[in-house]
């Protein structure tokens, strides 16, 4: 046991001995150095054990210094690759093809006298106007650009307008319609992208001052796929610096429902812009709550897909085993339409998979096994009444809700939050260069709960402990597979309990939808979680709830 403990703490000792000012100096690695690292790691070594490892520690420090001399771009992943599947799931050889998604019938829409009245139209409504040539792609693009210019400064949600690119593409898409070429429901639909996605010819800032003028060569795969589907990129939208919160180098992104309040993060700009009717949809990303949180704050609908369903090529890497890209829009079906365009395998991202997406908007809820986290819903909390009403709405829509529970600390054998430093370790590796160069000091937020502090303390996470946490993660994945033995989808408060951390660690998909207002102009949400690669089912359940309630049709005043 003592030898295992020594192994678990070894990396911390090495890092402590090799980080900081002594990188350029030569602080001796002696008994006192090891004792200090030992105390930090909570170890209890003998004098003989300390003496025995001194030469090895010095050699390891030298190896660290050598590695730090390499320039490793953020886009380069580690050799270890996360796979959300385990032997317990039985999905490893799942089908790559299946029934195509089915969309709701085209709505009856007319061209308004003032195109600004289309600011809150759905993708389905806008698509029908474009398909029938009642509104041109160029007109919709110019409308979005105008609204972004008018309202973007107040919301602080826009980093860069991609006006030249957008206008060229819109005109091209109109010419295609002249030739009878229609690309589908996203043809001519404007959208915004979280500014961690690369777009050729425009800055990709990651919301952080050290990168504010950096232009990457090429487009992210998600951007390429949306181009192919006919969508028109009109803006790069804000994110909290390096994907934490709503504070970026240009200010604080605002909640359209309350301009005194931030929009939450880190997909702050996408949520704010969609909620205010600046764009019909946007692309966000989530590592631990970055789609769910701003969607809740701003009253938008968001989909965090299964890990590996959407390529991350060309996106900022924060956590190679937890990052996921997904759509944020007005409705569940809007998210489904965008997801269908961006999901699928990408040779440039080896974590991606091909899986069917047999979405049906009219899937009877009686055909699905739907659970709810009874113990969480039974707690006393601010949104309890709203969430109880949401469960009643689901039952009236035809759902037969069965109580389920997520794995707890006792099931796992440790507190689930003890696994959360997996994110810190990977983020610390992704941005170690900022720490070593002191450019972490350029980041706007210099407080305990912000990336600069996390990046710094992450340098002291032992490699052995990171691996042990990922072994515990496999156990958590197996326990979650057991939950889905009995159900297809479950409904949960978006933030209470352990769901948000668990499902970001296990890679399960989650749909977040508005479910009412805590107080005036203060939206809140409820979430639906599906089995791995079960986006079609979880979206169908969320749509049935949304259709039965209508909270998504509420929009902030003043926009």
Whether 266 is a known active-site residue: answer: yes
Secondary structure element (H or E) that encloses residue 526, with its range: strand 522-530
Whether 311 is a known active-site residue: answer: no
Enumerate helices (H) and strands (E) in the chain, giving the number of each: 19, 15
Let me know: does 212 contact 249? Beta carbons within 8 Å: yes
- Residue 191's nearest CA partner among 165, 218, 171 is 165
Let me know: does 527 contact 347? Beta carbons within 8 Å: no
- Residue 191's nearest CA partner among 334, 357, 344 is 334
Among candidate residues 194, 225, 236, 324, the one labeled active-site is: 194
Q: Is 512 helix (H, G, I), strand (E, B) or coil?
A: strand
DSSP 242-275: TSSSSEETTEEPEETTEEEEE--SSSHHHHHHHH
What are residue 492's DSSP bridge partners? 527
Among candidate residues 266, 272, 295, 321, the one labeled active-site is: 266
Instruction: Quickly list H helices, 353-493.
Output: 374-377, 384-396, 409-412, 421-430, 432-437, 451-458, 463-483
Q: What is the rounded distance in angstroms from the CA atom of residue 180 to the CA atom of residue 174? A: 10
- Residue 318's nearest CA partner among 68, 77, 67 is 77
For residue 465, give both structure tokens. 């402990």
Neighbours of 124 (CB within 10 A): 22
DSSP state of 495: S
Among candidate residues 290, 319, 494, 525, the one labeled active-site is: 290
The catalytic residues are: 194, 266, 290
């Amino acid at each position: 046991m003592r030898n295992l403990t020594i192994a678990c703490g070894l990396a911390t000792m090495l890092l402590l001995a090799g980080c900081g000012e002594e990188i350029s100096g030569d602080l001796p690695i002696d008994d006192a150095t090891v004792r200090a690292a030992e105390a930090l790691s909570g170890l209890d070594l003998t004098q003989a054990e300390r003496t025995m490892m001194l030469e090895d520690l010095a050699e390891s420090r030298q190896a660290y210094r050598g590695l730090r001399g390499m320039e490793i771009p953020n886009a380069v992943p580690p050799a270890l690759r996360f796979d959300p599947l385990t032997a317990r799931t039985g999905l490893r050889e799942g089908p790559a093809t299946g029934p195509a998604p089915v969309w709701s019938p085209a709505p009856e829409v007319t061209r308004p006298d003032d195109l600004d009245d289309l600011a809150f139209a759905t993708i389905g409504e806008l698509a029908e106007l474009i398909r029938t040539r009642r509104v041109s792609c160029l007109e919709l693009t110019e409308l979005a650009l105008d609204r972004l210019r008018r309202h973007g400064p107040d919301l602080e949600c826009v980093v860069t307008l991609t006006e030249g690119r957008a206008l060229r593409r819109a005109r091209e898409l109109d010419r295609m319609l002249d030739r009878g070429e229609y690309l589908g429901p996203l043809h001519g639909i404007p959208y915004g992208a979280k500014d961690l996605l690369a777009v050729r010819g425009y800055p990709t800032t990651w919301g952080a001052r050290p990168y504010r003028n950096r232009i990457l060569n090429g487009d992210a795969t998600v951007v390429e796929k949306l181009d192919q589907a006919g969508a028109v990129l009109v803006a790069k939208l804000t994110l909290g610096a390096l994907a934490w919160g709503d504070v970026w180098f240009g200010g604080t992104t605002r909640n359209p429902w309350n301009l005194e309040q931030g929009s939450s993060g880190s997909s702050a700009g996408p949520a704010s812009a969609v909620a205010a009717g600046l764009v019909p949809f946007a692309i966000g990303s989530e590592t631990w709550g970055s789609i769910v949180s701003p969607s809740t704050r701003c009253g938008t609908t968001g989909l965090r897909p299964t890990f590996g369903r959407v390529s991350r090529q060309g996106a900022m890497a924060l956590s190679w085993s937890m990052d996921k890209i997904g759509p944020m829009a007005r409705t569940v079906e809007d998210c489904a339409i965008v997801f269908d365009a961006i999901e699928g395998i990408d040779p440039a991202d080896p974590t991606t998979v091909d899986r069917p997406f047999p979405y049906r908007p009219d899937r009877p809820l009686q055909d699905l096994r739907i659970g709810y986290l009874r113990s969480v819903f039974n707690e006393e909390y601010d949104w309890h009444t709203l969430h109880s009403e949401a469960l009643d709405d689901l039952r009236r829509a035809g759902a037969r809700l069965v109580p389920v529970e997520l794995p707890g600390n006792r099931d796992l054998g440790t507190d689930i939050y003890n696994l959360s430093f997996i994110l810190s370790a990977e983020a610390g590796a992704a941005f170690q260069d900022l720490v070593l160069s002191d450019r972490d000091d350029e980041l706007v937020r210099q407080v305990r709960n912000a990336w600069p502090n996390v990046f710094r303390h992450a340098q002291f996470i032992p490699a052995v402990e990171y691996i042990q946490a990922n072994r515990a993660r496999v156990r958590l994945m197996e326990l979650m597979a057991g939950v889905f033995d009995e159900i297809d989808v479950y409904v949960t408060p978006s933030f209470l309990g352990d769901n948000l951390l668990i499902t970001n660690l296990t890679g399960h998909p989650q749909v977040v939808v508005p479910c009412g207002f805590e107080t005036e102009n203060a939206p809140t949400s409820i979430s639906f979680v599906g089995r791995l690669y079960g986006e079609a089912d979880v979206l169908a359940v969320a749509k049935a709830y949304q259709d039965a309630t209508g909270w998504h049709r509420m929009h902030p005043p003043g926009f």
